[in-house]
Structure 1
Amino acid sequence: MARIVFKHHRQTTNLGDAVCSPYDYYPELACAGAAVDLERETPPCEAVIYGGGKIMGGLAKTFGPHDRAAKARIAWGVSTVQKFPISLRYWRAFKAMTLIGTRDWGDTRFLFAPCVTCVSPAFDMHTEERHEVALYLHHWRSKKVSLPRPEGVPVMENNNPDFAATIRHLAAARVVVTNSYHGTYWALLLGKKVLCLPFSNKFGNFRITPGYGTAEDWPRQLSRARSSDEMLDLCRMATAGFRARVEALIGL
């Protein structure tokens, strides 16, 4: 029996969702368990770690007998922002958890636990800035709006499965324009000036606030882009603190 089972959207074309599990960053935790896609049945275990990502709304319906039998159910780096003020689906998931770490800064109901990708050594690599602006786009959301793609501006979409190449793409620009949650997050971690083009309320709770613009007019809104040199350290400290809570809870 695995001691810990890690569950998130592992089988997805969305890079941010695919790489946001603690399983992939902490060998000491990974060696005590196994990683399973969120849609698969949870095998027998002592603890289940869910996340990260925006999974809480549908999480309760994926619970099986081994989820309920586990001694601890932990949400790590999940979005706790709801579309509506009252959500029965979210309430059920929250109630089932033993410990919740939210990626949404300001949600004081829970501990702050940003997306665990911040611990990746990719953010410590030096990449020369070669572009004034780069686009990082949500691969299907961008097709629903009139979003300019000026000639000469490098573009990458979030269905590219190469995490290291994605971070290099972001790091090579002075300003990152993005309508991807993780694109915004990663660019802030890199200390880039960021112009976020939000399409839902999930973009409103970063530890450091980016600049905000609109998809149709972003070339005229670049002066709104914002950066911070503190984001990486703040997120890594919060992640270390939450990891300590998890290890104490499950006895590691």
Structure 2
Amino acid sequence: MSLNLINSLKRKWNRYDVTRKILNGNYFNESVVNIHRIDTKNIGDYYCAPHHYFERLRGKYLDIFDYKNENEKIRSNYIEDVCNKSIIVGGGGLLNRGGFEMQMKLFEKISEKGKKIVLWGVGHNEKSKENYGKVSKYNIDINKFGLVGTRDYSMPGEFVPCVSCLHPIFDQKFDTKKEVGIVFHKDTLKKENITKKYQNFATSSNTSNLEDLIEFIGESENIITDSYHTMYWAMLMEKKVITIPNSSKFFDFKYQPIISNFDDALNHLNKGETFSGLLEECREINMNFSEKVFNYLNL
């Protein structure tokens, strides 16, 4: 049996073992923990969580993948926090995605048992192209949660765009220095047929640090990207955005950029719409939602 197969089986066992222990546990709502995907190599995943922006949540977070971590101490801490604390789930594309389904179904079940759980800025993330622009329901029942804010404008739940809009970095002003900037998703960096197509253009990726990426966006008149958060941040910064979707998540924001593909994207330069006041709108929505969250969780 190969080492990769052994490790895969171990992770699978860890997932089911942690889930079983939580389902059989006793539940309390003491303090709070913010659970999301903590991926330092994907800055959108990293910065889409409320704990970055509210002092009451500072330092109170878990990676949603801790339930399958090979380190027993990390898994035990995950069990303890989920059982004992109120939970804020999000943000990010955690819905309608196989890799997060077990966790989200678990949260749904324990919410029915008295656990206080808030969904904040989560959204659907289906990979099947046949469902792009056609998602009409989530893979969980959001009515079973205490408070729900989703980043998908047409879907059930209160519309709450990604909380990363609260980052003070968006208060900076930049001088436009280039007509177009290309921002690749980290997975696209591995596709030489795409990266070579744009080798003569200024490029960045969602693996960059936030400061460098925001400066890159700020200095560009047009942004071409297949990164959801780059799309969102560029729209907040009133840039003309051409997006290349890699999941359903690109099709359900309140305001729509141009949808294209890597072969045709350059033909859409300077044709996109800019959205004045979007940053202020998204910040106001999140601040209003935060009051509801903190009241509900007694924080």
Same structural fold, with TM-score higher than 0.5 when normalized by the shorter chain:
yes
State which structure, 1 or 2, has the greater radius of gyration over its C-alpha atoms: 2
Could you tell me whether the CA contact under 8 Å between 2:53 and 2:167 is conserved in 1? yes
- Any idea what SS the aligned residue of 1:90 has? coil
The equivalent position to 1:168 in structure 2, one of 209, 215, 230, is 215
* CA displacement, residues 18-61 of structure 1 (integer Å, 9 cap, x when unaligned): 11110011113327xx2111122241434100110011235452
Classify 1:81/1:98 alpha carbon distance in 2 versus 1 (closer, same or farther; 3 Å).
Answer: farther
- Richer in helix (by share): 2
Query: Where in structure 2 are there 5+ consecutive unaligned residues?
Result: 1-28, 67-77
Letter in 1 for 2:164: T
Matched AA of 2:297? I
Contact between 1:134 and 1:154, CA under 8 Å: does it hold in 2? yes
The residue that corresponds to 2:12 in the other structure is none
- Give the Cα separation in 1 of the matches to 2:192 and 2:88: 36
Q: How many pairs does the alignment contain?
A: 245
Identity of aligned residues (%): 27
Give the letter for the 1:90 counterpart.
N
CA contact (8 A) 1:48 1:67 kept: no
Deviations 1:93-152, CA, capped at 9 Å, x for gaps? x35422111011122x2001111100111000112211111011112135458432051x
One-letter identity of the residue aligned with 2:240: K
Partner in structure 1 of residue 6 of structure 2: none
* Deviation (angstroms), 1:200: 2.4
Q: 2:207 aligns with which of 135, 155, 159?
A: 159
After TM superposition, the score normalised by the length of structure 2 is 0.74
TM superposition shift of 1:10: 1.0
Q: Kindly tell me: are residues 145 and 215 of structure 1, through their superposed partners in 2, closer, same or farther at Cα, counting changes over 3 Å?
A: farther
Cα 1:23–1:103 shift into 2, 3 Å: same
For the residues of structure 1 that align with 2:168 and 2:39, how far apart are their CA atoms? 23
Instruction: Give the structure 2 partner of residue 179 of structure 1.
Output: 226
Against the structure 1 CA distance between its residues 215 and 6, is the aligned structure 2 distance closer, same or farther, given a 3 Å change threshold? Answer: same
Q: Is 2:240 the partner of 1:193? A: yes
Higher alpha-carbon deviation: 8-17 or 173-182: 8-17
C-alpha distance in 2 between matches for 1:37 and 1:112: 24
Report 1:1-252 matches (<5 A).
3-30=31-58, 34-40=60-66, 41-42=78-79, 43=81, 44-57=83-96, 58-59=99-100, 61-62=102-103, 63=106, 71-80=115-124, 90-91=139-140, 94=142, 96-107=144-155, 109-141=156-188, 143-144=190-191, 146-147=193-194, 148-151=197-200, 153-160=201-208, 162-252=209-299
Q: Residues of 2 paired with 1:86 and 1:117: CA distance?
A: 25
Distance 2:297 2:54 in 1: 15
Cα RMSD between the aligned structures?
Answer: 2.6
Cα displacement (A) at 1:185: 0.2
Counterpart contact for 1:136–1:178, Cα < 8 Å: yes
**Alignment partner of 2:92: what SS?**
coil
Task: Name the CA distance, whole Å, in 1 between partners of 2:136 and 2:192.
Answer: 29
